[in-house]
């Protein structure tokens, strides 16, 4: 039997819980991103933080994308998966000397620098290796992303990036540093942004800043506007692929590139979220006073977004077509926040039924923990239903 996108008979033979990736959907998504970006000559660096599963990374690398990394290990994983170092950017507020040296040795494309002390350390470490290093400044454009406070990053007082008011001093310092070349400016205003108009004020700010850098004598070749495009968590079946055409068009219409400048993006969630599901089984149905609980063999350790951000993931009973009943769907972890959904209609659940937690391809597997000493679930792929060891 199949239900929706799920080959239930095959999945039924696999030990739960596990992550299930629809590789055909991922490839279709990558194709659309490629078509849309090539219309304008934009360049795409997949945000590895969203999902660094080996097969997922290799699939995205094979499609010709670059990578956006935020740790030395991400840089290593990206390059091992086939991303060329010349398409790797490295951001993060706390890059250690070890991580900077590693990225320097790989000769990555560019460091997205987030503070003055970091800029000075990159300069010093590059000098020791007798290298000139390309850097972009991550700037807080002070644009409201209208999203969850934990994933808003573009407002002025923030641990990320440079504030607008610090820039005159930063360019002064830059002019004195011998081993770094400023090639661009970088932004990321937040994540899960579903209203593409939200990116308009970002474009306007970029245009303004272009003039500032030009006046200061910098010839910027690269503009990087980060990621942030949201997905439809409510209805992944109706909207498996986000509106990439509308998203890139906003930048094309509102952001003025100068001669030969390249526009870069760092999409994560919108590329991988919808291709992934967390598949679990009902361990028990517990009848409470007025509610019934579907207790699963997966929990917040395998998908932390509901507990951490009050995020909604669609839940489906893929083993059942029985009439719907209401459940609180919960995990086995010793925390009350280990609840996926409350008073939720599902086809009647029985012990052993397979449950799919949808849109779990981004910030799912990669944020898994071993709390309660649980195993990290394995990953399976639609095109070869064998576990990745």
Nearest approach, Cβ of residue 163 and ligand LLP (Å): 16
Q: Does 358 bind ligand LLP (CB under 6 A)?
A: no
Residue from 21, 90, 247, 363 binding ligand LLP (CB under 6 A): 363
Q: Is the four-CA dihedral 228, 229, 234, 235 of positive or negative sign? A: negative
Minimum distance from residue 206 beta carbon to ligand LLP (Å): 15
Q: Is 314 an interacting residue with respect to ligand LLP (CB under 6 A)?
A: no
Q: Counting contacts by CB under 6 A, is residue 251 touching ligand LLP?
A: no
Instruction: Report the residue number whose CB is nearest to ligand LLP.
Output: 227
Pick from 95, 134, 264, 305 the residue near ligand LLP by CB under 6 A. 305
* Cβ contacts of 149 within 8 Å, gap of 6 or more: none
Size of the site for ligand LLP (CB under 6 A): 21
Q: Tokens standing for 194?
A: 């579903």
- Does 226 bind ligand LLP (CB under 6 A)? Our answer is yes
Could you give the residue ranges of the DSSP H alpha helices within 182-256?
Answer: 200-215, 244-254
Q: What spatial distance separates the first Cα and last Cα of the chain, rounded to whole Å?
A: 27
- 133, 152, 192, 298: which one binds ligand LLP (CB under 6 A): 192
- 188 binding ligand LLP? (CB under 6 A): yes
DSSP 10-59: HHTTSPSSEEEE-HHHHHHHHHHHHHHHHHHT-EEEEEGGG---HHHHHH
d(CA 221, CA 167) in angstroms, rounded, equals 18
Helix orientation angle between 116-128 and 167-176, rounded to the nearest 10 degrees: 10
Is 47 one of the binding residues for ligand LLP (CB under 6 A)?
A: yes
Tokens of 203: 């474009």
Backbone conformation region of residue 373, classed left if phi is above 0, alpha if psi is from -120 to 50, else beta: left
Helix-, strand-, coil-residue percentages of the chain, each rounded to 5:
35, 25, 40
**With the C-alpha atoms ordered 97, 103, 108, 114, is the resulting torsion angle positive or negative?**
negative
Of 28-36, 221-229, 256-264, 288-296, which segment contacts ligand LLP by CB under 6 A?
221-229
The answer to the question of residue 134 lying near ligand LLP (CB under 6 A) is no
Stretch that binds ligand LLP, among 77-85, 163-171, 176-184, 227-235 (CB under 6 A): 227-235
Q: By CB under 6 A, is residue 302 in contact with ligand LLP?
A: no
- Tell me which residue of 373, 363, 364 sits closest to 334, measured CA to CA: 373
Among 227, 240, 306, 377, the residue binding ligand LLP under the rule CB under 6 A is 227
Helix ranges, 81-115 (H): 97-106
- 99-107, 211-219, 222-230, 252-260 -> range binding ligand LLP (CB under 6 A): 222-230
Q: Report if residue 306 touches ligand LLP, rule: CB under 6 A.
A: no
Is 313 among the residues that bind ligand LLP (CB under 6 A)? no
- Taking CA atoms, 225 is separated from 124, 126, 128, 351, in Å, by 27, 26, 31, 47
User: Tokens 């008979």 correspond to what residue?
Assistant: 9
Piece of the chain touching ligand LLP by CB under 6 A; list 30-38, 43-51, 342-350, 371-379: 43-51
Query: One symbol per residue from 48 to 87: x for binding ligand LLP (CB under 6 A), - otherwise; what is it?
Result: -xx-----------------x-------------------
d(CA 305, CA 369): 12
When binding is defined by CB under 6 A, the residue of 236, 268, 306, 377 that contacts ligand LLP is 268
Rounded Cα distance, 375 and 311, in Å:
23
- The answer to whether residue 151 forms part of the interface with ligand LLP (CB under 6 A) is yes
By CB under 6 A, name the one of 5, 220, 267, 333 that touches ligand LLP.
267
Closest approach, Cβ 152 to ligand LLP, in A, equals 10
CB of 33 to ligand LLP, least distance (A): 11
Residues 6+ apart with CB under 8 A from 5: 22, 25, 237
Query: Does 191 engage in binding with ligand LLP (CB under 6 A)?
Result: yes
**115 sits near ligand LLP (criterion: CB under 6 A):** no
Residues that bind ligand LLP (CB under 6 A): 47, 49-50, 68, 91, 151, 188, 191-192, 226-229, 266-270, 305, 309, 363
């Amino acid at each position: 039997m199949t239900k929706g996108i799920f080959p239930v008979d095959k999945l039924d033979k696999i030990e739960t819980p596990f992550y299930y990736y629809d590789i055909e959907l991922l490839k279709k998504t990558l194709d659309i991103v490629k078509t849309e970006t090539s219309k304008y000559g934009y360049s795409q660096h997949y945000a590895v933080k969203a999902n660094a599963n080996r097969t997922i990374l290799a699939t995205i690398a094979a499609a010709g994308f670059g990578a956006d990394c935020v740790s030395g290990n991400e840089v290593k994983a990206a390059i091992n998966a086939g991303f060329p170092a010349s398409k790797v950017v490295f951001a993060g507020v706390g890059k250690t000397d070890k991580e900077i040296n590693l990225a320097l040795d790989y000769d990555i494309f560019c460091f997205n620098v987030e503070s003055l002390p970091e800029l000075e350390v990159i300069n010093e470490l590059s000098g020791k290796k007798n290298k000139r290093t390309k850097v972009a400044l991550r700037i807080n454009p002070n644009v409201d992303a209208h999203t969850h406070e934990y994933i808003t990053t573009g407002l002025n007082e923030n641990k990320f990036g440079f504030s607008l008011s610090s820039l005159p001093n930063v360019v002064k310092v830059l002019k004195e540093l011998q081993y770094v070349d400023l090639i661009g400016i970088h932004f990321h205003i937040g994540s899960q942004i579903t209203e593409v108009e939200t990116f308009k004020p970002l474009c306007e700010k970029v245009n303004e800043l272009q003039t500032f850098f030009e006046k200061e004598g910098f010839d910027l070749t690269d503009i990087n506007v980060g990621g942030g495009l949201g997905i439809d968590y409510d209805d992944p079946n109706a909207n498996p692929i986000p509106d990439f055409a509308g998203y890139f068009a906003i930048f094309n219409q509102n952001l003025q590139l100068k001669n030969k400048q390249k526009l870069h993006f760092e999409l994560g969630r919108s590329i991988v979220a919808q291709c992934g599901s967390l598949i679990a089984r009902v361990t028990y149905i517990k009848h409470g006073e007025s509610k019934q609980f579907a207790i699963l063999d997966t929990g917040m350790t395998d998908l932390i977004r509901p507990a951490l951000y009050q995020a909604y993931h669609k839940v489906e009973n893929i083993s059942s077509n029985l009439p719907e009943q209401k459940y609180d769907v919960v995990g086995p972890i010793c925390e009350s926040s280990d609840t996926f959904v409350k008073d939720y209609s599902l086809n009647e659940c029985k012990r052993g039924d397979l449950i799919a937690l949808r849109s779990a391809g981004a910030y799912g597997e990669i944020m898994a923990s071993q709390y309660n000493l649980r195993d990290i679930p394995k990953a399976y792929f639609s095109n070869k239903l064998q576990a990745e060891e």
